[in-house]
Chain A
Amino acid sequence: MKRILIASVIVIVIGICLFTPATGAAAEREIRIADKTGDWGNPSPYLAYARGPGYVRMHFIFDTLVWKNETAGPIPLLAEDWKYSSEEDAYVFNLAENATWHDGEPVTAGDVAFTIAYMKEHPYGWTVLESVDRAEVIGPHTVKIYMSSPYAPFMEDIGGTMPILPEHIWKDVANPMDFVGAGAFIGCGPFKYADFNKEHGTYRYEAFDEYYLGTPTIDQLIYVKTGDPQMALQNGEVDFADVKPDMADTIRESGFVVIAGPHYWNKKLMINHNREPLDNITFRQALCYAINQSEFVDKSLRGHGKPASYGLISSESVWASPDVPDYPYNPDKAREMISSLGYAWEDDVFTKDGKPLELQVLISMIGVGGQPTPDRDGEILKNQLEKVGILIDLTSLDTKVGDTKVVNQDFDLAISGHGAIGGDPKILYEMTVQVPGSKPSPNTARYNESEELNHLFEDLLHEMDPEKRRAAVYEAQNVYAKELPAISLYYPTSYYAYDPDAGVEWFYTIGGISKGIPIPQNKLALLGDGDGMGAETETETDAQATPIAPGLAMIAVLMAFVILQMKRSKRKP
């Protein structure tokens, strides 16, 4: 009897403790963003992981010279205005005079010049400064950047990507990869670093009230690691999350605002040009006619996507050529083209010298942002190519193993994918030819033999006249689509959803954040006049406040059980 009483008291105390909400904290305007991975590295330039989400974590703290918003870029950020001098091959930037670092020191032209010198000495993964010669301080807030050779992607590649570092802190940092001490997170962006927890994969930023473009509309920004971001959003644990395409309508009906992403990521077919018959342009064009892009969109993406342009650059990019050659699905034409290469049609399979035409296709789970995503691409491709008489040996591999085989050119065809096709068209060059002095990337076609493309790439990289450059970019896409170093298959549509009551209107950045990151978490969404923005929310979650009812019910059941036990024990002799 005594034991039952003690046990029941313990159960009740635990029950009350568990089922009542945690102590509340001060009301603050905060936004919580869900993320499945959590840890993207310390939010500083050198320590954030060299992936899109890592850069996004860092960009709230560190500003670049210029930036992009939903519709335009480059737009002023730290630099109020700028000018390019073709005679001197130099850029002059005038910086915002009221900009300060988070520790109160003013941002000066010296900081910009220092950053360039520092990053030339300590290479920063996102920005290659080979084209920059030096930076010179012209005035307290004016800096001149001299180029070593004309570099057309400068504004996006360097001006809109290179985070400016405070000289007074970084001048003593010998190894930036080890720098996590005091000052490592001092930037001049709209948010101050407050915390990063690697173990829990969480980040916290506090608004920088003295931000030169105005105080952010929220007090703090929090990233939360979640197993299922969409569920966390529906459960009220976060305000902003990516959602599964199939659930977009359901989420929208629940009162959330769903934003569909622009198509800046493509799934593509890598081709080994060193092997027959893949070294033949006609054969590669025949492959395009044999491939039904719409079937991939319908079956692999269940309609949430669109067929890709064969010119690599996204058809939604401002750089998309209007005349990219197309290859409408036509298996008969594909067979005809393959026959023209000396192949004989025997028992529904092409043969040459008695051997069937057989290709190996490497497949692995590749998705946007490097997240493994299961799909049916391999099977669909196999069916389509076998219909035109090409036998397919489908080999499913771990993504990294597949990447390595592609890098070692130990493959025929491989299904791969990458983003950044909405930003500067430099990506066309990077994904086509092997950049001198760099290790091969699994997404680069290493198609160096086309004189025409190489010539166009010269203009794409170095032509400073915008119109002439645009013409070269268009032509490069057209030639790419004709020669097909790789075959773009489709663009998946990604969806994000946010709670409109939280007071922030998120948007996708034109061309993607920085060099083309297709994540709708641009810091400019958190800036504004502040009126009506940033909903007042308690820092405790709803999930903690709701369990009182079931908690009390459970306690009542336990109490009833205890009373019954007491009665039963009383009845016993």
Chain B
Amino acid sequence: MRNRAVKMVAAYLLTILFLLFLNFLLPRLLPGDAIIAMYSGHEMAMTEEVYEELVRMHGLDLPLHEQFLTYITQLAHGDLGYSYISNAPTAELIMGALPWTLLLVGTSFILSAIAGIVLGVESSWRRGGRFDRSLLTFMLLLDGIPSLALGIMALMIFCLHFGWFPSTGAMTPYSGAEGIGHIKDVLWHLVLPLATLTLSMIPGDYLLIRNSMMLTIREPYVLTARAKGIKKRRIKYLHAARNAILPFSTRIGIRIAYIITGALFIEKIFAYPGLGCLTYSAISNRDLPLMQGILTVSVLIVLLINIVVDMMYKKIDPRVENAY
């Protein structure tokens, strides 16, 4: 038991170290001169002195191993570097964007999970019926539409045509609204990106739960529960769904990376100030310290969630314990 825990921790530490190394190395392997690439679009007189100063400022004058050592040392002190393009510490930029992403993606995670689970359970319970077939067809169609297209459609219909929702941002800048008014404003701006992201995530959850439920409802214990005369809703959700939900918890761990990649396009088209937008800006400006910072944070979040899921999985399904 103890050995297993040690092995697990060691495996995670190795993974972190490897990913940090990749994170450090990949931007440096991009072709061309990093300084010229970063500042080529800027209206600055790039004299030799300015160039050398920029090289020194980015620490690119040091040998590669020293750069890596500096990177790791700074990281250990919680320093994610400095974005010279944004002229701000990377950590500050990330911490500014993270809450908005958590609000958008976190809420969407919860809503899509609830909708996916309920619809998946109900669909599988009525398998082969009109409800199941219609819902399955709709979900497959929805799954085929990229989130970007969904977002644009939402903007065209609810923003441009009806004018019900704002097209952009996380709140009305300088609206003067405070307290409840401010909360309403933030929620109002959240509706369209949230609906788009949730709609794009529901089909995956639905299909997983539906398939998993298909297998679970054939289990003898479900038949036993029915024979005992337990209420249908109780059998569905407490007996069958509880077991069918196991693959879903694994999916959470995998999908947490979605915090950045999945919301990137949604955040971009709605100009939502989250990590996705920040990542887009870092890539398009080739802001190496910011790119590294975002990747580091996302790597740590993904691994952390995976550790939690790993631990939770044993609680949810004790059979896992015996599988070793």
Contact = CB atoms under 8 A, between A and B. Distances in A.
A52 B41 CA distance: 10
Given A25-B176, A539-B174, A123 B50 contact: yes
A373 interface: no
Contact of B167 (A235, A407, A437): A235
B32 A204 contact: no
A49 interface: yes
B41 A23 contact: no
Contact of B88 (A23, A36, A198, A234): A198
A228 B168 contact: yes
Interface in A44-94: 47, 49-52, 55
B172 interface: yes
Interface in A238-290: none
B31 interface: yes
B185 A439 contact: no
A41 to B, nearest CB: 6
Contact of B48 (A41, A202, A225, A437): A437
Given A202-B174, A401-B31, A543-B166, A17 B184 contact: yes
Contact of B176 (A26, A49, A234): A26
A17 B180 contact: yes
B135 interface: no
B118 interface: no
Interface stretch (A1-9, A491-499, A544-552): A544-552
Contacts of A97: none
A539 B271 CA distance: 20
Contacts of A541: 166, 172, 175
B155 interface: yes
Interface in B149-193: 155, 159-160, 162-178, 180-185, 187-188, 191
Nearest to A514: B43
Contact of A227 (B160, B188, B270): B270
B153 to A, nearest CB: 13
B88 A197 contact: no
A520 B99 CA distance: 35
Contact of B160 (A50, A231, A439): A231
Given A25-B176, A408-B32, A540-B177, A235 B163 contact: yes
B45 A23 contact: no
B40 interface: yes
Given A227-B167, A404-B37, A442-B40, A199 B273 contact: yes
Contact of B163 (A41, A195, A515, A543): A543
A369 to B, nearest CB: 9
B238 interface: no
Nearest to A371: B284
B321 interface: no
Of A20, A52, A128, A400, chain B has the most CB atoms within 10 Å of the CB of A400
Contact of B269 (A22, A50, A228, A540): A228
Contacts, number: 200
A176 to B, nearest CB: 11
Contacts of A37: 281
Contacts of A547: 164-165, 188
Interface string B295-310: 0000000000000000
Contact of B268 (A128, A199, A200, A227): A227
B40 A441 contact: yes
Contacts of A401: 30-32, 37
A234 B173 contact: no
A437 B191 CA distance: 54
Interface string A499-523: 0000000000000000100000000
B36 interface: yes
Which among B41, B164, B170 has the greatest number of chain A C-beta atoms within 10 A? B41
Contacts of A52: 43
Nearest to A224: B173
B322 interface: no
B269 A227 contact: yes
B168 A224 contact: yes
Interface string A451-464: 00000000000000
A446 to B, nearest CB: 13
A431 B75 CA distance: 42
A220 B173 CA distance: 12
Contact of A123 (B31, B41, B45): B45
B93 interface: yes
Contact of B96 (A18, A199, A227): A199
Interface hub of B155, B171, B284 (most chain A Cβ within 10 A): B284
Nearest to B178: A23
Contacts of A22: 172, 175, 177, 181-182, 184-185, 188
A226 B167 contact: yes
Given A125-B42, A550-B162, A226 B97 contact: no
A264 B44 CA distance: 19
Contacts of B31: 401, 404-405
A528 interface: no
A539 B159 contact: no
A412 interface: no
A540 B40 CA distance: 39
Contacts of B177: 22-23, 25, 540
Contacts of B32: 400-401, 403-405, 407-408
Interface in A185-218: 195, 197-202, 204
Given A123-B45, A125-B42, A442-B40, 18 more contacts: A22-B182, A22-B188, A25-B175, A36-B271, A52-B43, A177-B87, A199-B93, A202-B174, A228-B168, A231-B160, A400-B286, A403-B32, A407-B33, A407-B40, A441-B46, A544-B188, A546-B164, A550-B164
Interface of A: 17-18, 20, 22-26, 34, 36-39, 41-42, 47, 49-52, 55, 123, 125-126, 128, 177, 195, 197-202, 204, 220, 222, 224-228, 231-232, 234-237, 370, 372, 400-401, 403-405, 407-408, 437-442, 515, 539-544, 546-547, 550
22 contacts: A18-B188, A26-B176, A37-B281, A39-B86, A55-B43, A195-B174, A220-B174, A227-B270, A228-B269, A231-B167, A232-B168, A237-B166, A372-B284, A400-B286, A403-B37, A404-B36, A404-B40, A408-B32, A439-B51, A541-B166, A543-B164, A544-B166
